[in-house]
Structure 1
Amino acid sequence: MKILLCSPIVPSKELGMSKVLIELSEELQGLGWLCKLLSPTDICPEILSYTGIKYQQYYAEALKNYLQQNASKYDVIDYDHVYLPYLREKFSNSTLFVARSSLLVHHYENFPIPIQNNLKEKISNFIHRISRKAMVQGWIRDAMLTILEADLINVSNDDDQIELVRRGIPPEKIAVVPYGISRNRRLLFDTVSSLPPVQPNVAFVGTFDPRKGSNDFPRIVQYISEAIPNVKFRLIGGRYKTEKEILGHFSQRLRHKIEVIHNFDSEELPLLLTDCSVGIFPSYLEGFGFGVLEMLAASIPVIAYNVPGPPMMLPPEHLVPKGDIKGMSDKVISLLHDQQKLYAARLWAKQQSQQFSWQNIAQITSETYLRCLEFKRTVNKKSPQLK
């Protein structure tokens, strides 16, 4: 079988959206698939000079042109759910077309992202609120067209399926397939002890921006620090901001408690998490929440907002309503105050993470795609005019 995985961003193992495709491709090849990962620069070399809507439009057009010429060479085309808003009849009908959601754009209507908590951003949001709303509506419009015309939709959490069904997509057209950790990285995470570190250290893995809860961090740090004076915080992955910019969100008296690691190789992450006790994940919207899974794999129990993504991995007692800063802080404090409870939670975290392996997920993906492809080709044989 031949599969083409189309990444809308330049592939990198440090970026969640393309990391999924890289690691899934590696595991699918281990199952005997012939996989190609298509970068946007492969089909439109100048695309990096575009941003925003122009990037979306230019990439979608380039992808359409590429697939019209090349789709028939593959058994499966796997592409982002926003970037192919064209009639299915324009492409090879013998190929299975799969629209993949790494972050379902429809959720932006129900899970609005807070703006940065400063005067400049508030003024900018007031000025551009209409254009931003139009941009989101444009994403959703293109996503609905892409999804309606796809043969199958691949989502990574149950909330995505619920939202799509609510919008009229048949549930049998949707496959819920979560993400995982590769065997090689699992070995690195397995070296992390489940015993609680002596120094209480709270971890966060993810970009530091409003969607990930950057506005909420100062008060979370303040609440936990007041209850546990010797606590430290390690923020890992704020690659789009400097350490100075990230620390600027916090009051001067809290900055000495915060360590920022904004650039690192994915293989270094287990070591960076070795001496961390508990994780926080105050994200307002996720496709899955790789940072949650990686912390769990390092024996770190995570407290997160109850929004699409993290509930696929976390029990109700580790979730709080979005924006519930005190609720999140109280749960972290409770774990840090009770070493026996923390140890049990750390053992659970490691065990829970093992349910999410790329090896198993690639097998599920393979079986799902093969089943849908066989059904499609059976229908084509019965209706030759559809070929």
Structure 2
Amino acid sequence: MILHAPWERNLGASRVQLELAEEFQAMGHEVEKFDFFDAFPPNKTPLIENLTRPKFSEKAKAFVQGNADRFDIIDAHQGDLPFSKQELGITGLLVARSVGLYAFYEEFTNLEKTKWPPKKKRTRIKNWLRYWESKQVNYECFRSLQTCDLVNLPNHDELNYVRDVLGLDHKSFVFPFGLSRQRQEAFAQVIQPATVRLNNQQVVFIGTWGTRKGSRDWAEIIKTVKAQVPDVRFLFLGTGFSAEFVLKDLNLTANESVEIIPQFTSDQLPNLLSGATVGAFPSYIEGFGFAVLEKLACGLPTVAYDVPGPREMLSHFEEQFMFAPGDSIGFSNQIIKLLTLDEIRYSQLSQQCVEVAQRFSWRKIAEETLKVYTEFLGKL
């Protein structure tokens, strides 16, 4: 497993390969990883060395070249190995994995520039520099999809893109994200009765505070929901920013109706969700969306924007849980509807949420992934 981030369960992108690796190992396979800290061991280095160090892809290339004969399968994050197999010196299966296709994120970046243009000159300069950096990253991601034997995608929207735009459907497959049996059980154990949850009147969001995750829409959502449900409370988990920062961004003062927890560990999440009533996730683009899957596993009806990723889960419901990106009014009205359900209907929806989440089992996904990997490996 190769990835340009730390091998850390609390990071969404890293968590995918880490938890799949655990399933593969439980099935009797050997798995190693080469991550950011393997490429750049943490130590106190001068700033100039950090700025001039080689790209992660070059470090990953050197590692693979030095260990080419040790692995049957190399599963690398998109862009991390933008080289031909001949350059890498490998004869096994080379997989390029998306946890959110580069082209979709670039599309959101373009939307962001037009919908919320930065006002500060400093921000505009930073965005300009980021734009030029992303051009190289995007090329490397595209190159890695071309040179690999197999493309691993988290949703069907990405499959449609690589088929219709890139012409790579012959080697592309969708493998969603999942939860382990233990993780599913941890959420199931904290599910409260409908009476308790409906009395709590709490809306929960999980995600880093930023435009992509819907930060610009939350002020309107809070205002609209509170107008109809005055006692509602909002819980923001894993914002990455302080309560003061988030409240200022919302143009709110500290109050009892909004609670912000900037950081939490993966093991803490079930208990943090146990008192919630409704999940909310106004993200504009996702690879899949652990934040949606884990709320569902906790029996929380969850409202989201109709975008790749959440679509894979929420399309299983007859109830309308998805709204057009930016439709904060429709989004808010559905939250209000869920907060004011009767106990019987809420219980039914809560049970459906758990059943949908159970479709996304890491063990089953690992088995299906290895079946395809082995088939392609046999053709080489």
- Report the TM-score when normalising by structure 1: 0.89
The equivalences for 1:214-225 within 5 A come to 214-225=215-226
Q: In the alignment, which of 45, 49, 62 is matched to residue 41 of structure 2?
A: 45
Q: Distance in 2 between matches of 1:152 and 1:47?
A: 36
CA contact (8 A) 1:47 1:59 kept: no
Aligned AA (2:213): K
The range that moved more, 217-226 or 163-172, is 163-172
SS for the counterpart of 1:35 is: coil
The CA RMSD over aligned residues, in Å, is 2.5
Identify which of 330, 334, 343 aligns with 2:333: 330
State how far apart, in whole Å, the 2-side matches of 1:325 and 1:48 are.
45
Report the number of matched residues: 370
Amino acid at match of 1:338: L
Residues 109 and 207 of structure 1: CA distance in aligned 2, closer, same or farther (over 3 Å): closer
Which residue of structure 1 lines up, in the alignment, with residue 185 of structure 2?
A: 187
Whether the 8 Å contact between 2:9 and 2:15 is mirrored in structure 1 is yes
Query: For the residues of structure 2 that align with 1:182 and 1:250, how far apart are their CA atoms?
Result: 36
Aligned mates of 1:98, 1:214 — CA distance in 2:
34
C-alpha deviations, 1:1-31, integer Å up to 9, x for none?
xxxx112111111110111111111111111
Q: What is the CA–CA distance in structure 1 between the aligned matches of 2:171 and 2:123, rounded to whole Å?
A: 37
Q: Extract structure 1 runs of 4+ deviating beyond 4 A.
A: 46-51, 53-57, 115-122
Distance 2:64 2:117 in 1: 45
Identity score, percent:
30
Write out aligned runs for 1:123-202 (5 A): 123-193=121-191, 195-196=193-194, 197=197, 198-202=199-203
Is residue 321 from structure 1 mapped to residue 324 from structure 2 by the alignment? yes
Conservation of the 8 A alpha-carbon contact between 2:84 and 2:148: no
Superposed CA offset, 1:95-138 (max 9, x none): 10000011211113433363799997543444455433333332
Match of 2:94 in 1: 97
The change in CA–CA distance for 1:69 and 1:158 in structure 2 (over 3 A counts) is same
Secondary structure, aligned partner of 1:86:
coil
2:375 paired residue number: 371
1:39 CA displacement: 2.0
Q: What amino acid does structure 1 have at the position aligned with 2:337? A: S
What per-residue deviation string (whole Å, max 9, x for no partner) do you get for residues 43-74 of structure 1? 332699789x9699610111111111112210
Which stretch has the larger CA shift, 172-181 or 104-113? 104-113
366 and 337 in structure 1: CA distance in 2 versus 1, 3 angstrom threshold: same
Give secondary structure in 1 for the equivalent of 2:32: strand
Per mean C-alpha deviation after superposition, the further-off stretch among 116-125 and 99-108 is 116-125
2:138 maps to amino acid: I
Contact 1:71 1:77 in 2 (8 A): no
What residue identity is the alignment partner of 2:81? Answer: L
What secondary structure, in the 3-state scheme, does the structure 1 residue paired with 2:55 have? helix
Which amino acid is 2:34 matched to? L
> How far, CA to CA, are the matches of 2:60 and 2:51 in structure 1?
14
Partner of 1:270: 270
Alpha-carbon distance between aligned partners in 1 of 2:11 and 2:371, rounded to the nearest angstrom: 27
Q: Which runs of 5+ in 1 are unaligned?
A: 377-387
In structure 2, relative to structure 1, the CA distance for the partners of 1:64 and 1:319 (3 Å cut) is same
For 1:182 and 1:149, how far apart are their aligned partners in 2?
32
Match of 2:286 in 1: 286
User: Secondary structure at the residue paired with 1:38?
Assistant: coil
Output aligned runs, 1:205-284, within 5 Å. Answer: 205-238=206-239, 240-252=240-252, 255-284=255-284
Deviates more, 1:277-286 or 1:240-249: 240-249
For 2:188 and 2:371, the matched residues in 1 are separated by 28
Local SS of the residue matching 1:308: coil
Structure 1 equivalent of residue 4 of structure 2: 8
Deviation at 1:265, TM superposition (A): 1.8
1:120 and 1:136, CA in 2 relative to 1: closer, same or farther beyond 3 A?
closer
1:288/1:310 contact within 8 Å kept: yes
What SS does structure 1 have at the residue aligned with 2:246?
A: helix
With normalisation by structure 2, the TM-score equals 0.90
Distance in 2 (CA, whole Å) between partners of 1:309 and 1:38 is 26
Residue of structure 2 in register with 1:384 after alignment? none
CA deviation string 1:230-283 (max 9, x = no partner):
000111111x21222122222336743111122222111111111111111111
SS in 1 for 2:279: strand
Range with bigger deviation, 275-284 or 162-171:
162-171
- Equivalent residue for 2:108? 111
Contact 1:194 1:347 in 2 (8 A): no
Match of 2:55 in 1: 58
Structure 2 portions without partners, runs of 5+: none
Going from structure 1 to structure 2, the CA distance change for 1:124 and 1:47 (only over 3 Å counts) comes to farther
Question: C-alpha separation between the residues in 1 aligned to 2:91 and 2:263?
Answer: 43
For residue 169 of structure 1, what is the amino acid of its counterpart? G
d(CA) in 1 for partners of 2:137, 2:327: 29
